[in-house]
Amino acid sequence: MKFAANKVIATVLHARMRQFRTIVNILSLQEIHEFLNDCYAPITEAVLEHAGTIDRFADDRIVAVFASSQEHQAHAVNALQSAMRIQERLTDINITWRTALDFLVMFDIGIATGEVLSGNVGHPEKVQHTVIGRQVHLAAELAKLCKTHNVEILTDVATFNQAKESFGFRELGEKLILGYPEPIALFTPAGAS
């Protein structure tokens, strides 16, 4: 069976929870289930509020896609607005879980814009719609770099270029990332303008 897929220009948001291994060792299985749902719900709402789609949940990670359409041309701006809303919603999560956890729940968010392949993958018995490509990988790598750069959100230059009229940014230099022939310029939003 051959699955259909299309190339699209999109912005990929990869949110990655810090200290998930520690959380798994502190909470019971039932509490982990409840905790993840308490995290996923406001993040999903923040994505949907800004015309995004949840691509997948995977333990401590959430991948969302913001694609251009007739209604939503500014997919990079939407992704950044969603990322900032996610960071705001963490306050509620931390209030709910502050007794069980002895630290703040934090999410690092990487955002990358460019061409991805959107389509179904899997087996006829288990099919999943997803996006694949370099930009999906880059968003994940940017999320991993947030802690190193002491920021909550990192974007690539393509996202910066699409959103610079709507947000202030701070450039954080360049970083060589495995699998990319050239250094990647790193930007963090400084707020809406």
Four-point Cα dihedral 21, 85, 148, 140, nearest 10: 70
Mean pLDDT for all residues in the chain: 92
Q: Which two tokens stand for residue 132?
A: 């694949």
* Cβ-based neighbours of 24, under 8 Å, separated by 6 or more: 32
Of the listed ranges 20-24, 119-123, 172-176, 186-190, the one predicted with least confidence:
119-123
Q: State mean pLDDT over 45-71.
A: 89
Lowest mean pLDDT among 69-73, 101-105, 158-162, 187-191: 69-73
Task: Write the burial class of residue 145 (CB in 10 Å: 0-12 exposed, 13-18 middle, 19+ buried).
Answer: middle
CB 155 within 8 A of CB 142: yes
Residues near 150 by beta carbon (within 8 Å), at least 6 away in sequence: none
Do β-strands 107-123 and 153-155 pair in parallel, antiparallel, or remain unpaired? parallel
The pTM of this model reads 0.94
The sign of the dihedral angle between the CA atoms of 187, 143, 153, 115 is: positive
Q: pLDDT confidence of 191, banded at 50, 70, 90?
A: low
DSSP 3-state assignment of 26?
A: helix
> For residue 33, what pLDDT band results from cuts at 50, 70 and 90?
very high
CA–CA dist 170, 154 (Å, integer): 10
Instruction: Check pLDDT > 50 for residue 193.
Output: no
Report the residue count for the chain.
193
Per CATH, the number for 5-192 is 3.30.70.1230
Q: Which of 50-59, 69-78, 172-181 has the lowest mean pLDDT?
A: 69-78
Percent of the chain with pLDDT over 90: 82
pLDDT reported for residue 1: 67
Is the predicted pLDDT of residue 94 greater than 50, yes or no? yes
Q: Going by C-beta distance under 8 Å and a sequence separation of 6 or more, which residues neighbour residue 148?
A: none
Predicted pLDDT at 122? 87
| pLDDT tens readout for residues 99-150 | 999 899 999 999 999 999 998 888 888 888 889 999 999 999 999 999 999 9
Q: Where are the alpha helices (DSSP H) in the chain?
A: 20-26, 29-49, 75-97, 134-145, 157-163
Poorest-confidence range of 86-95, 117-126, 168-177?
117-126
Angstrom distance (rounded) from CA 38 to CA 85: 15
Ranges of each domain in the chain: 5-192
Instruction: Quote the pLDDT of residue 73.
Output: 65
**Pick from 97, 89, 109, 102: which is nearest to 22 by CA?**
102
